[in-house]
Every structure is written in C-alpha cells, then in structure tokens.
Amino acid sequence: MRTLPQLELHVAHACNLACESCAHYSNHGHAGLLDPAEAAAWMDAWHGRIAPRTFSLVGGEPSLNPRLAEFMPLVRARWPETAIRIVSNGWFLHRHPDLPARMAADGNAALFLSVPHASPEYRARLAPVEALLEGWRRDHGIVVGRYESHARWTRRYRGFGPAMAPYADGRPRRSWERCVARDYPQLHAGRLWKCPAIAYLGLQDARFGLPHAWRPYLDYRGLAPDCDDAALAGFLAAEEEAVCGMCPADPERFEPPSPLRAHRRDAAPA
C-alpha cells in the first residue's frame, strides 16, 4: 500500500463558470457527468494499492452532478481513514439538500468554496451561496472552508480551443517547481494522472482537434492499475517529467476576467 497526500476525481467535466486558463479546461465548454458505478470500478482497481490521505471530489463543477452525495460512501468504503473534500464554486449546492447531513454522518468530510474572482459583482452574486453554507455549518456542524483561488491564478497554456498551444519552453524542472497543480494527481478513466492539465488534455483534443504541437503530451496515458509495484512507486515519487514542459517555466500571473460569461468555443476569451 502506497500513501499519497491527495487524489482528485472529476465527477463533472462541465462548469457553469468560464475561468480563463483553467487548469482543468473547464472554461472550454465541456460536458459529461461521471456515473458513480464507473467511479466505483476505478476505485476498486486502486484501493488495495494506494491510500490517499485526502480524496477530493472536483470538476468542472461537482454540484452539477445530481448524484454528488453518492460518491462519498464509495470513497469511504475503500479508504476508511481518508479525509473527503468537496471543492465547489457553490452555485448549485442548493440542489443537494441531503449533502450536509451525509457529510456530518461521514465524520471526516469537508466542503470548500472556491472563489475564482474578487470583483464586487461576483461577490454579490455569491452572497446566497455563502448564506446557504453558513446554514449548513450551523445546522449540521460540517466543516466549510474557502479558497480565494483567484489569488493564485496563472496562465497554463496559450490561446483557446483549437488555437491552444503549449508553452514548451524547454525547462520542465522549473515548470514543475512553479506549478500550482503539481500536488493534485487525478483518477480519470481508471488511471492515475500526474495533474489535471495532462489528465483532461484528451478531452480538449476530442473536442477541438488540437494541433500537432500537443502530440508529445497527448501520448501520455497515465498509470494503469495493473502496473507493477516499481512503476507505481516511480509514479508517486516522480517530480518533473517531460510532460511538465507543456506548462510555463515562468507562469504569468494575471487578473482573470469575470467568469460570469458564456463559454466560447472558437475565439480567445474576452
């Protein structure tokens, strides 16, 4: 059994927001919800081999999946000691009135509100979500946290949609050292992936037909559950890899535009 600090699972690829240069590509208009039965099969393939200290249910926007609460017992049945974390922008949590009671019953689960923009307009729109979560915390005693995610926002790729391009600036070590997503391996399609940017790149290619410059990164396939122990140990211990070169060695911090806009498929974000 190998321990890893964290493992993330996309329960929805879609997102109601469009945060420019999202590391999960959620601003590119993807769709699709994960079925709990499929997730259970993925977990079964790994639960005897790895033990994540934290298991995060993410997206996209996880609350778009109407079966969000069903993923919690799947995680708990396989990893009894793991902390379960739900990371949401909050906009559709009101569709899950049973979620706080199930979190409270679990005893080792927390919900984190991700705030991708600091504008007064966005804060005002978020007020009902904050009131809902305060009620959940008060009435059920659940742990509610908050990420001001806009404070760490950097550009992960150039362009948008079919015009996307990797940075490929030849310094994968520095890219890894400065990567904000390097500690977030993903469980996707039954495999372990180094980070969200490489895990969901195939979705981008399927949707847009990415240019040839992405081929070296699209050839990465993640770690299969039938790998040997040496391969698993190597995967968990690896720092920079060649695929890290797709991301910038010197990430550009920028003030993201409001995510309260429609997805755009064929143009750069406004």
Per-residue model confidence as pLDDT tens digits over 130-186: 999 999 999 999 999 999 988 888 999 999 999 999 999 999 999 999 998 999 999
Mention the CATH class of domain 2-246: alpha beta
Query: Could you tell me the pLDDT band of residue 261, with boundaries at 50, 70 and 90?
Result: low
Domain boundaries, the chain: 2-246
Stated as kind and residue range, the H or E segment containing 55 is: strand 50-59
Q: HSE on the CB side for 3, CA within 13 Å? A: 5
**Can you say how many angstroms the Cα of residue 61 is from the centroid of all Cα atoms in its chain?**
9
Closest CA to 183 of 24, 6, 51: 6
**Contact call for residues 33 and 65 (beta carbons, < 8 A):** yes
Q: How far is CA 12 from CA 101, 230, 267, in A?
A: 22, 32, 24
pLDDT-based confidence at residue 265 (cuts at 50, 70, 90): very low
Q: Render pLDDT for 222-256 as a digit per residue (tens, 0 to 9).
A: 999 999 999 999 999 999 999 999 999 999 888 88
Mean pLDDT of 44-65: 97
Residue 18 has pLDDT above 50, yes or no: yes
Which pTM does this prediction carry? 0.94
User: What pairs with residue 227 in β-bridges?
Assistant: none
Over residues 204-231, mean pLDDT: 96
Contact 71, 57 (CB under 8 A): yes
Please provide the average confidence, as pLDDT, over all residues in the chain.
94
The CA angle 189-195-198, to the nearest 5 degrees, is 70
Q: Are 150 and 260 in contact (CB under 8 A)?
A: no
Helix (H) or strand (E) segment spanning residue 124: helix 120-140
Q: Are the CB atoms for 53 and 5 separated by under 8 Å? A: yes
Rounded Cα–Cα distance for residues 106 and 50 (Å) = 21
User: What are φ and ψ of residue 220, in 5° steps?
Assistant: -65, 130
